């Protein structure tokens, strides 16, 4: 669903977040396992795009290179917005300065365990 909503390639690290799988829960599939299974049935593919890096893309969008420029612009706008909201949340005391994690940081954000 996230890949359809995005309408194009999703950076690999973003897919690990948006696929909805918890990282370390027992009896649940890891994000890497979800990716492997979707690739094995031919729904998605991993592909490198200049300017985006390693991405996950739906097979039906595989040959649409024009989507890459659209996604680059979208990611830039999203990063500006995320940074602004992050700063605002810290300034009003809603979150601790060292506890907010962005999707592009080294450690992936976690909602569950």
- Domain with residue 24: its CATH number is 1.10.10
The answer to whether residue 98 is domain-embedded is no
- 0.75 exceeded by the pTM? no
Give me 34's structure tokens: 């979800």
| Domain carrying residue 60 | 2-91
Calculate what percentage of the chain has a pLDDT beyond 70: 87
Q: Establish if 105 belongs to a structural domain.
A: no
* Structure-token pair, residue 2: 């996230």
Position 100 scores a pLDDT of 78
Q: Is there a domain that residue 109 lies in?
A: no
Domains in the chain: how many in total?
Answer: 1
Contacts of 67 (CB under 8 A, 6+ apart): 7, 8, 9, 61
Name the helix (H) or strand (E) containing 69.
helix 66-91
Q: Within a domain: residue 34? A: yes
Share the mean pLDDT of the chain: 82
What is the predicted pLDDT for the residue at 76?
Answer: 92
């Amino acid at each position: 669903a996230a890949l359809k909503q995005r309408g194009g390639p999703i950076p690999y690290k973003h897919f690990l977040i948006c696929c909805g799988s918890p990282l370390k829960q027992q009896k649940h599939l890891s994000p890497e396992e979800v990716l492997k299974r979707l690739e094995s049935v031919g729904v998605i593919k991993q592909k490198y795009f200049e300017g985006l890096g390693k991405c996950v893309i739906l097979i039906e969008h595989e040959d649409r290179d024009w989507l890459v420029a659209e996604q680059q612009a979208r990611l830039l706008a999203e990063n500006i917005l995320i940074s602004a909201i992050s700063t605002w949340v810290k300034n009003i005391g809603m979150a601790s300065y060292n506890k907010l994690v962005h999707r592009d940081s080294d450690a992936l954000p976690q909602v569950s365990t």
